[in-house]
Structure 1
Amino acid sequence: MRYMLAVERSVAPGSWALYRDGDPLDARPFGAAEPRAPAWVAELMAGLAALDVAPSALTSLVVGTGPGSFSGIRAAIAALQGLALPRAIPLYGLPSAAGLADGYLRRTGQACVAVVGDARRNRLWCAVYRRSPDGALRLAATGAPPAHAGDDFALCTPDVLGGQLPPDARIITPDGARLAAELAGLSLGCGLPVETLTPTAADLGALFLTLGAAVPRDPVPVYLHPAVG
């Protein structure tokens, strides 16, 4: 049997999901909200033990790389590296926004979705996706497969966001509470209200299973601002 473990911590409290031979076995939210707290790792180990799955039985790991809580993402990558390295388990990374978009398009049947988030420094980040006729996730602007890296995202101010979105795009955000004022009153995409949705490990794992070897190894957080100094 092949076990794939997905962990998502870009937005607290995050979640984990376990797949067996490509089928979902279990998915649970974490109770520990603090990004760097070791409690969530203990929860994960206890969850695997309850399913009678030893860490040595895992055959692949995937982690959400954001954008989102930098400390949460870094802690998740470090924890999975700790599982992967001693056992030579391959570790992959996918943007949390891509998993969120893929899950949304699968569940709703919509054609296009824009995932928008708070990039700080008076900026928003945005990635716009479509589903191709064969069901694959594509970048809306080019129709190309996502690179699953920072190049898939645009940075902009709220006042120009609307001009970057296709007219049929549904808008979702993991940062609804923080962005309510910035997005209020803007004419965005299809004109329907912005939905607040949280990335999940279950969606991340489902996207990973459709991509296989195309997923980047040795994950790093999606970081959208250039280095300063």
Structure 2
Amino acid sequence: MKALVIDAAASCMHIAAKNDDFKASISLDLGQKQSQKLLPSIDYILSQVELKASELEYTALTSGPGTFTGLRLAFSALKAIELANNVPVYGIPTLEAYAYPYTSFEGQVVSVIDAKKDQFFACVYENGKTVMEAADTSAEFVASKLDKSKKILLAGPDAALFAEELKKISSDFNLIVYPSQPCPTDSLFAIAESMIEQKKEPLADYDGPVYLRKSEAEIKLEQSAN
């Protein structure tokens, strides 16, 4: 299939395109400059697989949780392509995408992103089923949901950081943390095409990012109202 996918949920943004058997990807870890580089990077990636936006069969993105700015940038870019070329956009929960490569893992899988302020966006899976729903929570709360008798694989860009937090809580966890994580864009391609095969609906016009935490502006507005 001909597709474009974006993972902008964490500090490092990943963009990839495929034209049947040809695939290209790029990663951007540029801080605030990412907003300037996203659209040129999309054009570049599409050119590498000899595609035009009008030729895409679908696009997909990590729909959240994640960084406010990154998620908004990705949604805006793919919604613009959808509007101009009638290309459906598929939203895939961020933590599901990060855990996807380990669906057959025999144990528990913790998919995690550093949410700052001593909090994490985390979700726990076992045998492909959700043990703990995605939450903006503490390492202590996630630890309470884990089974120390089983292997626990940590997935996501901040897996190593989360492992250190779990070790502070207990030395009894049987943790597995790989030194590098699989590229999330491969998961986005696979999950989106499974959704298409199952005839699941793409994002509607009104759908936006899934935020588990209120923005600083929302918090300040609530404080000023009280």
Range of TM-score over shorter length: 0.7 to 0.9
The Cα of 1:193 is off from its aligned counterpart by: 4.7
- CA separation of 1:198/1:184 partners in 2, compared to 1, >3 Å: closer, same or farther? farther
Is 2:174 aligned against 1:191?
Answer: yes
Structure 1 residues 145-191: Cα deviation after superposition (integer angstroms, max 9, x where no partner): xxxxxxx3133322232111244332234225765653342338952
Is 2:208 aligned against 1:220?
Answer: yes
Is 2:130 aligned against 1:160?
Answer: no
Identity %: 22
Is 2:167 aligned against 1:171?
Answer: no
Structure 1 residues 106-130: Cα deviation after superposition (integer angstroms, max 9, x where no partner): 6xx4443111232334332221123
Higher deviation after alignment, 5-14 or 27-36:
27-36
Q: Tell me, yes or no, if the aligned pair for 1:56 and 1:87 is still in contact at 8 Å.
A: yes
Amino acid at match of 2:70: G
Amino acid at match of 1:221: P
Q: Give the TM-score, by structure 1 length.
A: 0.76
The Cα of 1:215 is off from its aligned counterpart by: 5.7
**2:91 paired residue number:** 93
**2:109 paired residue number:** 113
- More helix, by proportion: 2
Q: Within 5 A, what are the aligned runs for 1:9-158?
A: 9-20=8-19, 25-31=22-28, 33-34=30-31, 36-105=34-103, 109-131=105-127, 137-140=128-131, 152-158=133-139
Q: Tell me, yes or no, if the aligned pair for 1:7 and 1:64 is still in contact at 8 Å.
A: yes
- CA separation of 1:156/1:40 partners in 2, compared to 1, >3 Å: closer, same or farther? closer
Q: Tell me, yes or no, if the aligned pair for 1:99 and 1:199 is still in contact at 8 Å.
A: no
Q: Tell me, which stretches of 5 or more residues in structure 2 are unaligned?
A: none
Higher relative contact order (CA 8 A, sep 6+): 1
**1:182 paired residue number:** 165
The Cα of 1:200 is off from its aligned counterpart by: 1.7
- CA separation of 1:215/1:13 partners in 2, compared to 1, >3 Å: closer, same or farther? farther
Q: Give the TM-score, by structure 2 length.
A: 0.77
Q: Tell me, which stretches of 5 or more residues in structure 1 are unaligned?
A: 132-136, 142-151
- CA separation of 1:24/1:128 partners in 2, compared to 1, >3 Å: closer, same or farther? farther
SS in 2 for 1:12: coil
Higher deviation after alignment, 192-201 or 166-175:
192-201
Aligned-partner Cα distance in 1 for 2:48–2:24 = 13
Q: Tell me, yes or no, if the aligned pair for 2:59 and 2:90 is still in contact at 8 Å.
A: yes
**1:147 paired residue number:** none
RMSD over aligned CA atoms reads 2.9
SS in 1 for 2:210: coil
Aligned-partner Cα distance in 1 for 2:78–2:157 = 23
Higher deviation after alignment, 40-49 or 120-129:
120-129
Aligned-partner Cα distance in 2 for 1:121–1:79 = 29
Amino acid at match of 1:58: L
Which has the higher Rg, Structure 1 or Structure 2? 2
The Cα of 1:95 is off from its aligned counterpart by: 1.6
- CA separation of 1:105/1:33 partners in 2, compared to 1, >3 Å: closer, same or farther? farther
The Cα of 1:66 is off from its aligned counterpart by: 2.9
SS in 1 for 2:65: coil
